[in-house]
Amino acid sequence: MTFRRAILLLAGVVACIPLSTANADNQPAEANRPNVLFLLADDLRWDALGCAGDRLAKTPNIDALAARGTLFRNHFVTTSICCVSRASIFSGQFARRHGINDFVTPFTPEAFARTYPALLRKAGYRTGFIGKFGVGERMPDKEFDYWRGFPGQGNYFTKGSPIHLTQRMGDQAKEFLSATDPRPFCLSISFKAPHSQDGAGREFPPDPREEKLFAETEFPLPPTAHDEFYRALPEFARKSEGRTRWQRRFATPEMFQNTVRDYYRLVTGIDREVGRIIDALRERKLADNTLIVFTSDNGFFLGDRGMAGKWLMYEPSIRVPLIVADPSVPAGSRPQTVDAMTLNVDFAPTLLDYATVSAPASMQGRSLRPLLHGDKIEWRSEWFYEHHTLPNIIPPSEGVRTAKWKYLRWVGVDPAVEELYDLTTDPTEQHNLATSARYRETLDDLRERWSRLRRDLQ
């Protein structure tokens, strides 16, 4: 072979290599990477959707998403409060590792560089953030290509405007999607709804379009929304912030109905915008290559145990919805349900997995992709819960959740106060077994698991 012919052949080979795999960053080919739409509700409990079995909820668009995707029936947060949970979502880490346990501490630049939006942007994704950021007071607006985030809680209505915040966020999502850009995108939308407007005269103000919705609906009390379950709480829990907020929202039957109606109206408002955003994806011919995740940062007490808010390690507080629509799952395998216990720390490694980006060793979650595709893999059989935020008004707690058992340990007192529930026979946690001699061996075993997990997850 002549030297000239060898050079021409080499040039032809190089010309056939896609630019995205030949550049210095060695980024994956764009055509193989899906867009990502991450939808996060705020304080949405797992069972307040039609697809979760709630016959009173009005969530047709979210239900339709579940009907063409995967519904995870046992999804949890590892700390039930917005700042900590969101830090775990971004970083894939338990609070014991990321160390954010208040509303003012931001990610350090080094820590943010290891979050899913930063890593996806570095890998060539166009990134956007809309809504309540929730981690610290310093906003990372320069770390996104499109930023419409805000600090703190935000407000459902701004002075002089009749447009509800949930609709404004839908409008911003459509603006992001209207851009002409060849890069794959990752858009994270963090709704304020159905979180309260704390301290306002009306704490759950809906969009005016939902004002008449549920006007004639009588919502049932949760199974534990009775004095006997409130009295069963330790005294320090009975006097905590959850009871203070219960007094503002649920103290009378009329207050309960008004609050729950407004809560469900806000959920319907989210549903409407989810529908608009999915329609925009279809109009832009992006739907067939967009991974959609819908979830919440934590659950919510609707008077359960005489409480409002979240924080405590009971199911309405820690269990949240999760729906994933993955267009690469064969149509014949959808819809499907997954019963494995999944966690908020799993999102970051999952999104990186879909983008063919290696998750850093600092991440403690696992990619959900094998579960979505029906792969036979070993999965977690237990997980660790912790809550140490605002210990002066929220009692600190830790614990272990398995498929069968829940071990709750109130760690702010000495000696610690313990609770034990058999979730297979008592899913609403009405019978504390911690003082029963019959379950002493189970209690000892779960104490050992708690000690091991809290040490190993540092």
How confident is the model at residue 5, as a pLDDT? 40
Kindly indicate the confidence band of residue 407, based on its pLDDT and cuts at 50, 70 and 90.
Answer: very high
Q: Residue ranges of the domains in the chain?
A: 31-381, 396-458
What number of other Cβ atoms are within 10 A of residue 326's Cβ?
21
How confident is the model at residue 293, as a pLDDT? 98
Kindly indicate the confidence band of residue 1, based on its pLDDT and cuts at 50, 70 and 90.
Answer: very low
Judge whether residue 10 has pLDDT over 80: no
Judge whether residue 39 has pLDDT over 60: yes
- Matching residue, tokens 């851009």: 179
Q: pLDDT tens-digit profile of 192-231? A: 999 999 999 999 999 999 999 999 999 999 999 999 999 9
CATH number of 396-458: 3.30.1120.10
Judge whether residue 142 has pLDDT over 90: yes
Q: pLDDT tens-digit profile of 255-281? A: 999 999 999 999 999 999 999 999 999
The dihedrals phi and psi of 76, each to the nearest 5 degrees, come to -135, 160
Measured distance between the N- and C-terminal CA atoms of the chain, rounded to whole angstroms: 61
Kindly indicate the confidence band of residue 138, based on its pLDDT and cuts at 50, 70 and 90.
Answer: very high
Kindly indicate the confidence band of residue 458, based on its pLDDT and cuts at 50, 70 and 90.
Answer: confident
How confident is the model at residue 32, as a pLDDT? 79
Share of the chain above pLDDT 70, in %: 93
The dihedrals phi and psi of 290, each to the nearest 5 degrees, come to -125, 120
Q: Average pLDDT of 309-313? A: 98
Q: pLDDT tens-digit profile of 240-249? A: 999 999 999 9
Q: Average pLDDT of 333-345? A: 97
Judge whether residue 418 has pLDDT over 90: yes
How confident is the model at residue 30, as a pLDDT? 54
How confident is the model at residue 4, as a pLDDT? 39
How confident is the model at residue 31, as a pLDDT? 56
- CATH architecture for segment(s) 31-381: 3-Layer(aba) Sandwich (3.40)
d(CA 323, CA 325): 7
d(CA 165, CA 307): 27
How confident is the model at residue 50, as a pLDDT? 98
Alpha helices per DSSP H over 178-286:
227-231, 235-238, 241-249, 253-283
d(CA 264, CA 46): 13
Judge whether residue 190 has pLDDT over 60: yes
DSSP state for residue 213 in the 8-state scheme: T
Q: pLDDT tens-digit profile of 374-398? A: 999 999 999 999 999 999 999 999 9
Judge whether residue 2 has pLDDT over 70: no
| DSSP β-bridge partners for residue 70 | 324, 336
Q: Say if CB 173 and CB 273 are below 8 A apart.
A: yes
Task: Fill in the amino acid letter for 30.
Answer: E
| Closest-CA residue to 197 (of 232, 148, 155, 241) | 155
How confident is the model at residue 21, as a pLDDT? 32
Mean pLDDT score across all residues of the chain? 93
d(CA 43, CA 194): 6
